[in-house]
Every structure is written in C-alpha cells, then in structure tokens.
Amino acid sequence: MTDSTRCGYVAIVGRPNVGKSTLLNHILGMKLSITSRKPQTTRHQIMGVKTEANVQAIYVDTPGIHQRRSTAINKYMNRAATSMLSNDVDVILFVAQALQWTEEDQAVLDKLHAVKTPVVLLINKIDRAKDKDKLIAYTAKTAAKYNFAEVAPVSALRGKGIDVVETIVARHLPQSEFIYDEDQLTDRSVRFLSAEIIREKLVRELGQELPYTTTVDIEKFEEQAGLITIHALIYVESNGQKSIIIGRRGERLKSIGSSARRDIEKLVDNKVYLNLWVKVREGWSNDERALRGLGYSD
C-alpha cells in the first residue's frame, strides 16, 4: 500500500437507457461501451480503467437493471448488474435521468439500501432540461430519497460535469497501489469488443425492427501483418428476423458490415476484413446452456 496513490473499483448502475455507457466512454476519452437509444443495449459488465496522475479508477459499466421480461438473457443481464452491488466496489455511481423518475429507477434504488458502499447520485441528461427551476426541484427531491454520499448533475452526451464526477470518485477511492498497468484501458479482448461493435451497428441500423433476440459470435479472428480477418455469426431466432437483418439483396447486412468494419479498424489501428453471416438458432435467448456457449457467463 502507498500513501501517494489511490485505486479502486467504481460501479455504474441504473435502469436501462439512462446513459451509463455514454458516461463511461466520456470518462475514458474513447468508445469502449457500445451505445444506442434502444434500452438494454449493454448486456455485459464492461470494465474501463482510467489512470491519471496518482489515481486509478476502475469503472464497471453494467446492464440496465430492469423488470420487463423473464427470459434467460434478461435474468443474466440483471445478475450482471446487481452482482456489482455485492462485490467489493469502492464507489457506486447511481445514474438517473433528469426530470424522469420511474418505477425501474426506484427498483434500482431499493437494491442500494443493502449496500454499505458510498453511493453518488448522478442526474444525467441535464442538457434536455430546459426549465432549470424544475431541474433543481427534481434533483433535490431525488437526492432526498437516499443517503447519497454526493450529488452531481451531468450531461454524459455533451461531456458536461465529467471532470466533477472524476473528482468525486477520486475522493472516495482508498489509498492503494495501482492494480493495472497505467496504459491498460480494459480487461476485455479485441475479439469481444469487435463482437460488441457489430451488435451496436445492428441496433443502430435496425432501430425498432431489431429483435432483442439477436447476438453476435466471432467464429474466426486472425491477425496477420497488415490485416485482421474476422468471421462473425449473427444469431437470430427466426427466419423472419434473418430476412430483416439481411435486407433486400443483402444491402442491409452489407451496410451493417461496412459500418462495423470502420469502427473495428479504429479500435485496432489496422486494416480489417470482416465477413458476416446470419444464422437462425431458435430459442437461444431463453436457453441457459446456449447463453453460456455464446459468452453470457456470470
């Protein structure tokens, strides 16, 4: 242990679609967690390491805690999120949306009553709140719901208030040696991140047409001099879903692949050959064994 450095784990929790992944990406200064306007885009815990001066904060983005569906994949996402409330984390960032408190927000907050970790309330999307008096009143009312260690208004999308969040986090981290190398950004592999990028493009390209029962599995990932070759399978649960993703004459799948390839090339700083297939695997999202085979493991 050292008196000169601080290091610890920071869990980012909240209901779906409150901006947790966008917050992590802005803190890190790079796109690590995939984002979209569609709820439940994040399905796994995503760890991002921010090392600056004498502070190393290990942020863990979690799936949105929700009460909507009882399929195996939804249960997995809730377990992935709530497990961070029982693990040895040093700070919890509870993200709520400005002027919008829901039953799901309350359900997440109810789970926090059992933890002893300091909880910081972040009121996100303040850029959407045009009436500042209403925002002040909402913040005060929400802050009174729990014994929060601190409260901060932010706009993760605009990057507003991020420096304040990092200062608050540093204040609550214990004195400790760094856990990770100073240049390490995540514990996730490039293979995993590539699959996530492809899934993000599916979500963004298809919008409301995209079934939740879609996932991506990397079958082949080969690195050669000057080129990375990736073969990826997009799993769906019906032929109708397969047709939606492929699109007329394969144009939609081609668009998804092109967009994903560009982002993967930025990630790996190399040329990428990306080949996508769509395959029907009935009932995978409600099959615990299938989920484990596709990388959904606790």
Residue whose entry in the numeric block shows the structure tokens 């796109």: 31
Is the dihedral angle over the CA atoms 37, 18, 28, 189 positive or is it negative?
Answer: negative
pLDDT of residue 86: 62
pTM for this predicted structure: 0.82
pLDDT of residue 56: 97
CA-CA distance, 109 to 102, in Å (whole number)?
A: 11
Other CB atoms closer than 10 Å to residue 266's CB: what's the count? Answer: 13
Phi, psi of 136 (to 5 degrees): -60, -45
CA-CA distance, 278 to 266, in Å (whole number)?
A: 24
**273 and 231 Cβ atoms separated by less than 8 Å:** no
Pairing mode, strands 227-236 and 215-224: antiparallel
Residues 6+ away with beta carbon under 8 Å from 233: 216, 217, 218, 219, 276, 277, 278, 279
Tokens standing for residue 292: 């484990």
pLDDT of residue 258: 96
Residue whose entry in the numeric block shows the structure tokens 């939609």: 252
| CA distance to 77, 172, 218, 236, 254, per residue, from 150 (Å) | 27, 10, 41, 43, 47
Give residue-wise pLDDT tens across range 224-242.
888 999 999 999 989 999 9
Per-residue burial over 156-168, b = 16 or more CB atoms within 10 Å of its CB, e = otherwise: bbeeebbeebbeb
CA atoms within 13 A on the CB side of 210: 23
- Per mean pLDDT, which range of 23-27, 65-69, 147-151, 164-168 is the poorest? 65-69
Across the chain, mean pLDDT equals 86
What are the extents of the domains in the chain? 6-172, 190-293
Nearest Cα residue to 263 out of 195, 205, 182: 195
CA angle 100, 106, 109 (to 5 degrees): 115
CATH of domain 190-293: 3.30.300.20
**157 and 19 Cβ atoms separated by less than 8 Å:** yes
Domains 6-172 and 190-293 fall in the same CATH topology = no
Give residue-wise pLDDT tens across range 202-215.
888 887 666 567 88
Residues 6+ away with beta carbon under 8 Å from 48: 24, 27, 28, 32, 33, 58, 59, 60, 61, 185, 186
CATH 3.20.20.140 is right for the domain spanning 6-172: no
Residues 6+ away with beta carbon under 8 Å from 200: 34, 35, 36, 41, 260, 263
Banded model confidence at residue 1, pLDDT cuts 50, 70, 90: very low
